[in-house]
Chain A
Amino acid sequence: MSQGRIRKILVGDAQADRVVPPSGFTAQLTLFVSGAMAFLVVFALALSLASGRLADRWSQELARAATLRINAPQDQLPAQTQVALTILQQTPGVSSAKALTPDEQAQLLSPWFGPDIPIDTLPVPQLIEIIEGNPGYDRAGLRLRLSAELPGAVLDDHTRWREPLVDAANSLRRLGLFSILLIGGATAAMITLAANAALAANAQVIEVLRLVGALDSYIAQAFIRRFTLRALIGSAVGVVLGMISILLLPEASDEGGFLTGLGFQGWGWAWPLLVPPLGALVAFVATGTAARRKLRELS
């Protein structure tokens, strides 16, 4: 599309605009539909951006860390811990392995038992935190060796419960993106209907325009411009309302988890700004297609 053509659509030609009579009903329909759809797109966007962030965070935070738990009678625990650390240090792909101190273990347990529990009197297993290197270690190989040398050690690499969570977040993101496509398609369909109604209602006008030598492209332009502008205005209003609603949602907080993190963050705020131009583009294409088909029909 040439620059001149874009300018013609945005700035227009006051005289050319008047050749098609203003049509109340289709104008309002287009404004309302594109406004409502833009509002929904903002939410779908917020949803997929938030679930995307969640998926990234979960997979990043948990990917590199694993825990080795050593269950043994208290008197054998230090010796077995030492053996485990040695094994880990010999395993390629383990970047570091560190036994948690009793204080650190107490801290981890305090949410469950309260801060005043005398942890050293309880038979707690020893925890070893493993940070994976890049490339990572061979999980199956490590498990095999541990089961041979340290039957009481359990390797917990979090993948078991991490994967379904990350999967869920990722499908939520895909669902959001899919909804945006659906909304775009529905908008195109509605605008096509509205444009067809406007074209049919103006068959007489189109005939007169042809009699005085109007090209099809000129007639189509008059309709395209209208619907494009209406979609642009409607979706701009919808986006503004959608963004205000998102702003009014509670701040992201650790306690609220996913639900409060639904807003946009940083550059995420720029995404909704793309919606009005895209809405206008959808209207442009939909009206253009409808107009070309109708004009061919009417000839």
Chain B
Amino acid sequence: MIELDNIGYNYGGGELLTNVSAQLAPGSFHFLTGPSGAGKTTLLKLCYGALHPTSGRVRAFNMDVKGLDRDQTAMLRRRVGVVHQDCQFLNHLSIYENIALPLTVSGKALDSEEGNLNELINWVGLSERAEAKPPELSGGERQRAALARAVILSPDVVIADEPTGNVDWDMSQRLLRLLVELNRMGKTILVASHDLALIRAAKNQVQARVLRISDRRLTLAGADL
């Protein structure tokens, strides 16, 4: 689905990532871990084409991401659902409208999708809060809403950046179950997290591989977790 081929990246200062290679096979579940500032968010952005590598190549759905024009990048975003670390909502719209946003911008009539939308909002446990504006939500509620928005178009790949960053243990377990459920539905999942307890809990539920970034390199973590 997504291949990183020997990529390097820097924001203009020193090299942040060097010689990073990885492959996300269809239906796989990967965690990405590493210390804060190691470049997890950066690596995810490279995967969905928000950044382009300074060297090497990123391929998504067998297309070179760098070669995509703006419209093709937009189409890629529809096939890759992203939960951003800082959620990224439109604050003047309700949570319901924010979750529906990918449908709206791809020109789908909301009326015909209303059933799906309500089901999804119920699935992330936000039925009561659907009419609230994003700033009125708690951190965990926002992250659940972000997850719902990421999957509304039924993308093949779901990328989540610290989806459990703001929530307590119970809530992080709930979010994890949602991701596991998506994986069972056949989606390819990539989750950045430094929550090792969460990763251990996940390994009991799915076959998940753990990638670790440290010292600019990406390695496959072994049984030491």
Contact = CB atoms under 8 A, between A and B. Distances in A.
B201 interface: no
A299 B101 CA distance: 20
Contact of B77 (A22, A213, A216, A295): A213
Nearest to B109: A15
B49 to A, nearest CB: 10
Given A212-B102, A212-B149, A18 B93 contact: yes
B207 interface: no
B93 to A, nearest CB: 6
- Of residues B88, B104, B107, which shows the largest number of chain A Cβ atoms within 10 Å of its Cβ? B104
Contacts of A18: 92-93, 97
Interface stretch (B25-33, B67-75, B185-193): B67-75
Contacts of B77: 210-213
Chain A contact-residue range equals 20 to 34
Interface in A211-230: 211-218
Given A18-B97, A211-B84, A216-B70, A205 B105 contact: no
Interface residues of B, number: 26
B78 interface: yes
B74 A208 contact: no
Given A213-B102, A216-B71, A208 B88 contact: yes
Main secondary structure of the interface of A (DSSP, over half): helix
Interface string B48-84: 0010000000000000000000110011111000101
A22 B93 CA distance: 11
B24 interface: no
Interface string A10-28: 0000011011011000000
Interface string A175-213: 000000000000000000000000000000101111111
B110 to A, nearest CB: 6
B90 interface: yes
B9 interface: no
Contacts of B74: 210, 213-216
A209 B98 CA distance: 10
B153 interface: yes
A212 B105 contact: yes
Contacts of A209: 90, 101, 105
A19 B104 contact: yes
B19 interface: no
Given A211-B77, A212-B102, A213-B102, A19 B71 contact: no
A218 to B, nearest CB: 6
A19 B149 contact: no
Contacts of A212: 77, 101-102, 105, 149
B106 interface: yes
Given A19-B90, A299-B70, A214 B84 contact: no
B84 A15 contact: no
Interface in B80-133: 82, 84, 88-90, 92-93, 97, 100-102, 104-107, 110
Nearest to A218: B105
A21 B93 CA distance: 8
Contacts of A295: 70
B88 A19 contact: no
Interface in B141-177: 149, 153
A16 B101 CA distance: 9
6 contacts: A15-B110, A19-B90, A19-B104, A211-B77, A213-B77, A217-B71
Given A208-B90, A212-B77, 12 more contacts: A19-B93, A19-B104, A210-B74, A211-B77, A211-B88, A212-B102, A212-B149, A213-B78, A213-B105, A215-B70, A215-B105, A216-B74
A-B residue pairs, 6 tightest by C-beta: A214-B105, A213-B77, A213-B78, A21-B92, A212-B102, A215-B74
